[in-house]
């Protein structure tokens, strides 16, 4: 669960990316990043896939992102906007290793893949910055200065993995371990045991209540798990389950399920029609 005043849980080690920021003959400095995919996953996990939306706009050549979350008490969308700067977007590519390899070559159509990746990065960067406005991954700004000497592989091609991270009572990073491709520790910060590890999703009691409520309302559990793109309710965050258990949350689930069933019945009607209709 998230503490009061915080909507989203702290990022876990596998949700954080370490990239080279600068380098010299002596070594390389790194920065910690999140990806747009991480933001999307946390939004789906915490508020539900139907309770948030985003839109992009171009302002003076820069891409802005407006990230909106539904406030069920106020019955309105609450929005926060930020802009992804062109330089940062180009440096902070929200891409996989495969994407970056493709960007080094020409695509099949002979076009420059780098320009396509740069355009994608502008939109991803604006989403991540709008996410910071909501507190998504804001703890990354508390990271220590990360320096990997050349003797440990610190260079422009360094591929580092965040293998461990911990936080103190103020949500500041107090433990950080980076490893190289071979699993060797190349950077270590803080105590051996994190004072506050990333949040564990303990929602067993809430899930039991939700299952009972879904059975009472005759809504299949799979309808909810499919909406959250998981294979079990236990994988949905405790915050999201708690939101679904509210009267408004249950009503929204039932209403959405009934609409889905109605649409399926409508399509089935057309499926059962004969190929040729008789005429008088």
Q: Are 100 and 93 in contact (CB under 8 A)?
A: yes
Beta-bridge mates of residue 265: none
Q: Are 165 and 16 in contact (CB under 8 A)?
A: yes
The predicted structure's pLDDT at residue 229:
82
Whole-model pTM: value is: 0.63
Q: Is the pLDDT of residue 95 over 50?
A: no
| pLDDT band of 41, cuts 50, 70, 90 | very high
Q: Are 135 and 7 in contact (CB under 8 A)?
A: yes
DSSP state letters, the chain: -PPTT--SPPPPGGG-EEEEEEEETTEEEEEEE--HHHHHHHHHHHT-TTSEEEEEEEETTEEEEEEEEEETTTTEEEEEEEEE-HHHHHHS----HHHHHHHTSB-TTS-BHHHHHHHHHHHHHHHHHHHHHTTTTGGGGGPPPEEEEGGGT-STT--EEEEEEEE-TTS-EEEEEEE-TTS-EEEEEE-SS-SEESPP---HHHHHHHHHHHHHHT--HHHHHHHHT-SSGGGS-HHHHHHHHSHHHHHHHHHHHHHHHHHHHHHHHHHTS-SS----
**Six token digits for residue 239:** 């915050």
Q: Which of 8, 36, 14, 68 minimizes the C-alpha distance to 237? A: 8
Q: Which residue has 């899930």 as its token pair?
A: 207
- In this structure, of 43-47, 101-105, 227-231, 269-273, the range with the lowest mean pLDDT score is 101-105
122-174 pLDDT per residue, tens: 889 999 999 999 999 999 999 999 999 999 999 999 999 999 999 999 999 99
Domain range summary for the chain, segments of one domain joined by +: 16-33+141-189, 35-136, 204-271
**Six token digits for residue 85:** 């700067």
Q: Which residue has 């440990």 as its token pair?
A: 152
- What average pLDDT score do residues 63-90 get? 83
251-280 pLDDT per residue, tens: 889 988 998 888 887 766 555 555 554 544
Q: Which of 255, 258, 209, 196 minimizes the C-alpha distance to 236? A: 209
């Amino acid at each position: 669960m998230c503490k009061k005043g915080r909507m989203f849980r702290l990022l876990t080690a596998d949700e954080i990316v370490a990239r080279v920021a600068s380098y010299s003959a002596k070594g390389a400095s790194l920065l910690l990043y999140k990806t747009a995919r991480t933001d999307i996953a946390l939004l789906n996990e915490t508020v539900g896939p139907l309770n948030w939306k985003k839109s992009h706009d171009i302002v003076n050549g820069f891409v802005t992102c407006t990230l909106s979350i539904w406030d069920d008490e106020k019955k309105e969308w609450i929005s926060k906007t930020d802009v992804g700067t062109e330089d940062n977007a180009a440096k902070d590519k929200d891409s996989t290793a495969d994407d970056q390899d493709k960007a080094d070559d020409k695509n099949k159509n002979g076009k420059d893949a780098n320009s396509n990746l740069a355009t994608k990065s502008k939109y991803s960067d604006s989403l991540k910055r709008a996410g910071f406005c909501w507190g998504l991954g804001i703890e990354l700004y508390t990271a220590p200065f990360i320096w990997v000497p050349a003797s440990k592989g610190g260079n422009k091609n360094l591929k580092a993995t965040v293998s461990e991270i911990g936080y103190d009572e103020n949500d500041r990073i107090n433990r950080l371990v980076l490893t190289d491709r071979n699993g060797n520790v190349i950077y270590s910060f803080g105590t051996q045991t994190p004072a506050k590890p990333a949040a564990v999703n303990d929602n067993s009691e809430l899930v039991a209540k939700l299952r009972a409520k879904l059975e009472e309302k005759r809504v299949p559990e799979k309808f909810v798990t499919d909406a959250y793109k998981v294979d079990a309710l236990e994988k949905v965050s405790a915050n999201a389950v708690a939101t679904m258990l509210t009267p408004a949350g249950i009503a929204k689930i039932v209403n959405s399920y009934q609409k889905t069933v109605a649409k399926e019945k409508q399509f089935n009607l057309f499926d059962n029609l004969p190929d040729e209709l008789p005429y008088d």
